Chains A and B, each alone.
Chain A
Amino acid sequence: LAKTTQPISMDSYEGQEVNITCSHNNIATNDYITWYQQFPSQGPRFIIQGYKTKVTNEVASLFIPADRKSSTLSLPRVSLSDTAVYYCLVGDVWVTGKLIFGQGTTLQVKP
């Protein structure tokens, strides 16, 4: 199972772009990379998922280099409401249902 490593915390200011990197050195060939956002006392919420290169949706972009040993979640122009914990998850429930979340990155957005 791929173990993930993320920074424990990050600070940013409103309007800035935030990049959170996750390291997953032993990612398996079939694994997908998924990012979740969690607010206090709520369940995590899916943000974005990718396998390689770049994926973009209406809220974020996900950059995955060719070796897939890391990934970067990019949040454009953050606001105070983006203050949350962000989790990187690596796995593929088609192959195995055992999933290990990383410790998460607490993002604090300041005015």
Chain B
Amino acid sequence: EAQVTQNPRYLITVTGKKLTVTCSQNMNHEYMSWYRQDPGLGLRQIYYSMNVEVTDKGDVPEGYKVSRKEKRNFPLILESPSPNQTSLYFCASSPRDRGGNQPQHFGDGTRLSIL
């Protein structure tokens, strides 16, 4: 089954304790992206990757890191989490077809609570 898998689905942790949210896709998609979703603010892009070893900042990259060492995986790293990073996070992937056909497939989300 084609899917984007995020882990963990839920996490409660404390300020300053490094954490990683994993994201894996099995569709051989070139493009991957991370979003956070907060009430009243919609989906905001954190980082994206156009291909392996190519990453770039989205709208709200501060406090986050990513890596894309292989095509299927795109982990999100919070080196020193703070309470303002408490949010619902989504990973997504899509093909990078030149002629369109770029529907993003989203994971089920990771709810992070930073105390």
Contacts and interface: CB of A to CB of B under 8 A. Distances in A.
A43 B102 contact: no
> DSSP majority for the B interface?
strand
A45 B92 CA distance: 10
Contacts of B102: 32, 34, 49, 92-94
25 contacts: A32-B100, A36-B104, A41-B109, A43-B90, A43-B92, A43-B108, A45-B106, A46-B104, A46-B105, A49-B103, A51-B100, A92-B100, A92-B102, A93-B50, A93-B94, A94-B97, A94-B102, A97-B31, A97-B33, A97-B56, A98-B45, A99-B58, A100-B59, A101-B42, A101-B44
Interface of B: 4, 31, 33, 35, 42-45, 48-50, 56, 58-59, 88, 90, 92, 94, 96-98, 100-109
Given A43-B106, A44-B90, A44-B104, A97 B49 contact: yes
Interface residues of A, number: 23
Contacts, number: 70
Given A43-B108, A44-B106, A49 B45 contact: no
Contacts of A49: 100-103
Contacts of A36: 104
A30 B12 CA distance: 42
Contacts of B105: 46
Interface string A8-19: 000000000000
B42 A104 contact: yes
Contacts of A103: 42
Nearest to A50: B100
Given A97-B49, A99-B33, A87 B109 contact: no
Contacts of A42: 108-109
Contacts of B48: 97-99
A87 B43 contact: yes
B43 A44 contact: yes
